[in-house]
Structure formats: structure tokens, C-alpha cells
């Protein structure tokens, strides 16, 4: 495969990743603010964002740390919230499972909601893509987002309470997921899975951090499969 093809895939990934900066920036900024208000130093807040790169897990772990929970419980909560990344990884195997180990390791580091959903949509729309193109497209999506996430965490940690509360930075999380998931609801199975996840997630909202979401995700996947099987039988 020519280097021009790989560069084109990488550039396309960057282009598709750029729109996410408008929601990733305030979200990471908010984490920096909350982290310093919880008593973390700049180095500790940055360590969170550099090692984890997962906003929901970072907020869940931070909340438990503020409540003086045990280290084991903090780690378990962060793991529970981030278990969706394991589902993302499993879904990526058919597309990039044959890529070199170093590329798969790098993708595992930058495998988060935005990079996965943008890449999965691209792979589905263009099944003719080769493995190298898929890898570099994925890395392209994450290229503008990873340094932004880390730098805006630093900004939030440094400016702290100087950001007025009326800016409502916490709007970024729901907007991000709506922007990512909305365009992918193209079939009855997709819609059924989304509705199932919403209903089950709301019903189980009182469960420990992340548990209800994981159960909702599992129910959604089963629902999607059942609807697809039903449609195939009808056809």
C-alpha cells in the first residue's frame, strides 16, 4: 500500500475528529477544575488525564476519592465505567485485529468514545478499506483530541474557580454522546438497542457507579441482535 493512501486515511481521520474538540475541550476543562477543587495537585490531575483519557471514569474515580473510599473501590468503579472500552475493542477486532502489535497497542491507548464511534462508522461505510488505512484513520481521529484533552485539563487545573459557574461546562458530556450516537441510529435494530439502553439505564440509575450502565449496555446489545434476527426471519 502506498504511503499516499495511508496519509489520506490519516488526514481523513483528523478531519472527522476535529468536530469533537468543541465538546471535548469544555469537558476536559471541567475535569481540571473539579480535580483541583477536590484537592488534587496539577501533577495529579494531569496524571489522571494522561494515564486514563476517559472522562466518565475519571469523574467517577474522583468522586469516590473525595468521599474517602478505599483504593480498591476507586479502581473498581473506574474499571466498571470503562468496561465499555472492552466492548469497543472486541468490535474492532474484525477490522484491525491483524495489524502489528505496536499499532494495536497504540490504538488501545487512544480507544475512547469519539475515536471508536467515528472509526466504526467509517469502517462500516467503507468496507473496502485495508487494515493499514483503518489503523491510521483511527489514529487520525484521536490526534486532535488527545493533546487537547491533556492541555485543557491543565488549563482547568490552573484557572480553577476563576471559571464562572454560569458557563455550565458540564453540558459537554451529554452533548458529546448525542452527537456521536444520533447519526448511527439508521436501522430498527439500532433504535431498539438505543431505547432499551435508555430505559434500563434509567431504571437502574440507583446502582453503584457504572453498574447500571453496563447492564443497560448488555441488554441493548441483546435487543439489537434479537431485532436483527427477527427482521431476517421476516425477510
**pLDDT computed for residue 16 by the predictor:** 94
The pLDDT confidence band at residue 175, using thresholds 50, 70 and 90, is low
Distance CA 19, CA 42 (A): 28
pLDDT > 70? residue 114: yes
Question: For the chain, what are the domain ranges?
Answer: 3-172, 185-235
Mean pLDDT estimate for the chain = 84
**pLDDT computed for residue 142 by the predictor:** 96
Least confident of 145-149, 163-167, 219-223: 163-167
Distance CA 139, CA 17 (A): 10
- Of 163 and 82, the structure prediction assigns the larger pLDDT to 82
Sign of CA dihedral 103, 104, 106, 111: positive
Query: Which 3-state string (H, E, C) describes 16-78?
Result: HHHHHHHHHHHHHHHHHHHHHHCCCCHHHHHHHHHHCCCHHHHHHHHHHHHCCCCHHHHHHHH
**pLDDT computed for residue 181 by the predictor:** 66
Distance CA 83, CA 80 (A): 5
Distance CA 55, CA 91 (A): 21
Distance CA 3, CA 133 (A): 10
Per cent of the chain over pLDDT 70 is 86
Give pTM, 2 decimals: 0.74
pLDDT > 90? residue 92: yes
Mean pLDDT (whole number) for 196-206:
87
pLDDT > 80? residue 81: no
**pLDDT computed for residue 174 by the predictor:** 64
Amino acid at each position: 500500500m502506498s504511503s499516499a493512501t495511508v496519509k489520506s486515511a490519516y488526514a481523513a481521520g483528523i478531519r472527522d475528529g476535529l468536530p469533537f474538540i468543541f465538546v471535548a475541550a469544555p469537558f476536559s476543562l471541567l475535569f481540571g477544575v473539579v480535580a483541583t477543587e477536590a484537592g488534587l495537585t496539577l501533577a495529579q490531575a494531569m496524571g489522571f488525564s494522561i494515564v486514563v483519557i476517559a472522562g466518565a471514569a475519571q469523574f467517577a474515580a474522583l468522586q469516590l476519592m473525595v468521599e474517602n473510599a478505599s483504593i480498591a473501590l476507586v479502581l473498581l468503579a473506574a474499571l466498571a465505567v470503562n468496561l465499555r472500552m472492552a466492548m469497543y475493542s472486541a468490535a474492532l477486532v474484525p477490522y484491525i485485529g491483524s495489524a502489528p502489535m505496536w499499532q494495536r497497542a497504540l490504538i488501545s491507548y487512544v480507544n475512547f468514545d469519539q475515536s471508536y464511534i467515528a472509526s466504526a462508522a467509517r469502517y462500516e461505510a467503507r468496507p473496502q478499506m485495508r487494515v493499514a488505512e483503518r489503523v491510521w484513520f483511527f489514529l487520525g481521529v484521536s490526534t486532535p483530541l488527545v493533546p487537547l484533552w491533556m492541555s485543557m485539563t491543565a488549563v482547568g487545573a490552573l484557572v480553577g474557580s476563576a471559571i464562572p459557574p454560569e458557563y455550565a461546562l458540564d453540558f459537554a458530556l451529554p452533548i458529546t454522546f448525542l452527537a456521536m450516537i444520533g447519526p448511527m441510529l439508521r436501522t430498527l435494530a439500532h433504535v431498539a438497542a438505543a431505547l432499551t439502553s435508555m430505559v434500563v439505564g434509567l431504571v437502574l440509575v440507583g446502582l453503584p457507579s457504572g453498574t447500571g450502565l453496563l447492564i443497560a449496555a448488555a441488554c441493548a446489545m441483546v435487543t439489537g441482535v434479537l431485532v436483527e434476527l427477527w427482521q431476517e426471519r421476516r425477510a
